[in-house]
Amino acid sequence: MRICSISVRRFTSRILLTTIMAAFLSTMIAFAQNQAAQVSGLITDTSGAVIPNAVVEVLSNDTGVSHHTESNGEGYYVVPLLQPGTYKMTATCKAFL
């Protein structure tokens, strides 16, 4: 009878551990879902030449929140963590002002 009670305890412990891990993982998956996007691209002039160090502004038409970044030396930029919506983008460069 003693062997049976030890096996039941092990089985119960394993079931409890499995349940806790499943709850933890499902919670982590729920937090991992995010409704954010990013905008990225390459800044060029009308002739196709790359424009490095351009200031990029992304303005939300819905909320008025503005996000700023600067293109790198090769003209690439990334604006992360944008919420769904409509945006107005502008790029300015001191060399063209």
Would you kindly state where each structural domain of the chain is located, as residue ranges?
Answer: 1-33, 37-96
Below-70 pLDDT ranges, the chain = 1-11, 24-34, 96-97
**Helix H or strand E encompassing 55:** strand 55-60
Residues in Cβ contact with 93 at an 8 Å cutoff, skipping those fewer than 6 apart: 43, 51, 53, 54, 55
Strands 66-70 and 37-42: unpaired
**Interval 36-50: pLDDT, tens:** 889 999 999 889 899
d(CA 44, CA 22) in angstroms, rounded, equals 50
The topology (CATH level 3) of 37-96 is Immunoglobulin-like (2.60.40)
User: What is the pLDDT at residue 19?
Assistant: 74
Is the pTM here over 0.85, yes or no?
Answer: no
Hey, is 35 helix, strand or coil?
coil
